Amino acid sequence: MTEKNPTPKYVSKKQQTRIDRENMRRRWLTIGIISIAVLVIGLIAFGIINEYVLKQNRAVARVDGKSITVADFETQVRFTRFNYVQNAIQIVQFAQAYGLDTSFYESYLTQIETALANGESLASTVLDEMVDTIIVEKEANALGIVVSDEEIDQRVEEFFQYYKNGTPTPTVTVTPFVTSTLNPIQLTLTAPTSTPKPTATTAGTESSATATAAPTATQVPPTATTGPTSTPDLTATAAPTATALPTSTPYTYDGFTSQMKSYLEGVDEYNFTRSDLRNLMKAQLYRDRLLAEITKDLKPEQDQVWARHILVATEEEALAALEQLKNGTDWCELASQISTDTSNNQTCGDLNWFGPGEMVTEFEVAAYNTPVGEISQPIQTTFGFHLIQVLGHEARPLSQSEFEQVKEDAFTDWLTQKKADHTIEKYDDVWKSVVPIDPTLPAGLY
């Protein structure tokens, strides 16, 4: 039996128009849904790209056109905060291990806590250091200084106290001892105090006078007593046997790599990588090499002044004191009576030797420009009015630590001047909007 073809359903023109209209609505609805989906996905993708690519690559500063990005800035700030936190933890652990009073470390912890709380100030300092790093490398390269990968590798190893060629022997630096001849005015401050003689007493009477303690002489073996000598005990007393110390485990290259891996895992959450560690070591090397070059002609000595002063509140008091001194009043006696500097008014106002930068500017300028032995006119500072008498002015040898500080100061001054030769742009609206506030001190640390 053959099937019959179904009779085609007749669609009127009106019906066809309605069908076409519905199909069109469906198409537009589908297009709209797809468009919205694409827009949403696009916005999400843009947000992700903006947050993790575009935003991170924005510049917080530029030095001669070279950008410091948000990503690098945030990483460096977090790493700096991490070091602050670790220092605080180590201080507390040290104090607890040795049973030290909390007052020992609370001042240190307060300073660290304050630095971390002032996040914007800390971040600003970090940004300045990042700018300096770029300038230091550029200036070093201009002088022909280049840091090699091998040098960076060695500095990284030394950072973890791994010395493949053996632990370096510390260099002993001898601090110079100054024995300059004292002038008459200086002798008034340093004259030796005579030792009073013991009061004479009648024979057989024990002296009641207390003699001033003199320096103890080096002991010599006691004089042997004449008379019978006791028979020595020939039985040897057993000495305590020394406990063998454990043999230290050699610090191998594997140990170094393991320690570095552990360290990097600890800072990984702050996006601080092995590459960042190498860049940090590289920056230190460039700074050390450039500092050595800039300060190579400095001598371990410094132009210093030895002075004493009398401090009063008003210029009228200072002028009156100056008049008294001109009329023969003893300086030390006057200082003890009227000087308001209680730290030295009982020692003639003696300030001992000092170098540039140790006193407020007005005081320093006056002291360095007053001839030895003379008294200055009243000098006003934030402390009041000073009369300054210069007791000495000469080049004085510096200890190693003092010399290192002088070199640091000289390098800082040089770098500050050099910055004027570079184009430095800081974008405050950018870096201030991305200042990290983590990590912070653990709760209940102290």
Helices (H) and strands (E) in the chain, counts: 13, 7
Query: What is the chain's mean pLDDT, rounded?
Result: 82
Tokens linked to 286:
């460039």
- Report the C-alpha gap between 33 and 115 in whole angstroms: 52
Task: Tell me whether domains 55-165+253-300+401-440 and 301-397 share a fold.
Answer: no
- Report the C-alpha gap between 334 and 164 in whole angstroms: 64
Lowest mean pLDDT among 28-32, 154-158, 172-176, 244-248: 244-248
- Report the C-alpha gap between 313 and 321 in whole angstroms: 12
Highest mean pLDDT among 4-8, 168-172, 244-248, 371-375: 371-375
Residue 37's pLDDT is 80
- Report the C-alpha gap between 439 and 446 in whole angstroms: 17
Residue 174's pLDDT is 56
- Report the C-alpha gap between 302 and 406 in whole angstroms: 9
- Report the C-alpha gap between 45 and 440 in whole angstroms: 32
Residue 12's pLDDT is 73
């594997």: which residue's tokens? 254
pLDDT bin (cut points 50, 70, 90) of residue 378 is: very high
Q: Has residue 194 got a pLDDT over 70?
A: no
pLDDT bin (cut points 50, 70, 90) of residue 169 is: confident
Residue 228's pLDDT is 37
Q: Which CATH architecture has domain 55-165+253-300+401-440?
A: Orthogonal Bundle (1.10)
Domain ranges of the chain: 55-165+253-300+401-440, 301-397
| Residue 161 CB burial class (10 angstroms; 0-12, 13-18, ≥19) | exposed
Residue 446's pLDDT is 73
Q: Has residue 226 got a pLDDT over 60?
A: no
**Which residue type, as a one-letter code, is found at position 435?**
V
pLDDT tens-digit map of 311-354:
999 999 999 999 999 999 999 999 999 999 999 999 999 999 99
Is 441:116 a contact under the CB 8 Å cutoff?
yes
Q: Which CATH architecture has domain 301-397?
A: Roll (3.10)
- Would you give the DSSP letter of residue 438? -
SS (H, E, C) 181-197: CCCHHHHHHHCCCCCCC
Is 391:186 a contact under the CB 8 Å cutoff?
yes
The rounded Cα 135 to chain-centroid distance in angstroms is 20
- Counting residues of the chain whose pLDDT is more than 70, the rounded percentage is 76
Lowest mean pLDDT among 45-54, 89-98, 191-200, 232-241: 232-241
pLDDT bin (cut points 50, 70, 90) of residue 17 is: confident
Helix/strand/coil for 393: strand
Sort residue 437 into left (φ over 0), alpha (ψ -120 to 50) or beta: alpha
The residue with greater pLDDT, 4 or 44, is: 44
Highest mean pLDDT among 52-56, 95-99, 130-134, 268-272: 130-134
**Which residue type, as a one-letter code, is found at position 242?**
A
pLDDT bin (cut points 50, 70, 90) of residue 444 is: confident
- Would you give the DSSP letter of residue 370? S
The residue with greater pLDDT, 343 or 223, is: 343
Q: What would the mean pLDDT of 264-279 be, rounded to a whole number?
A: 94
Q: Has residue 239 got a pLDDT over 70?
A: no
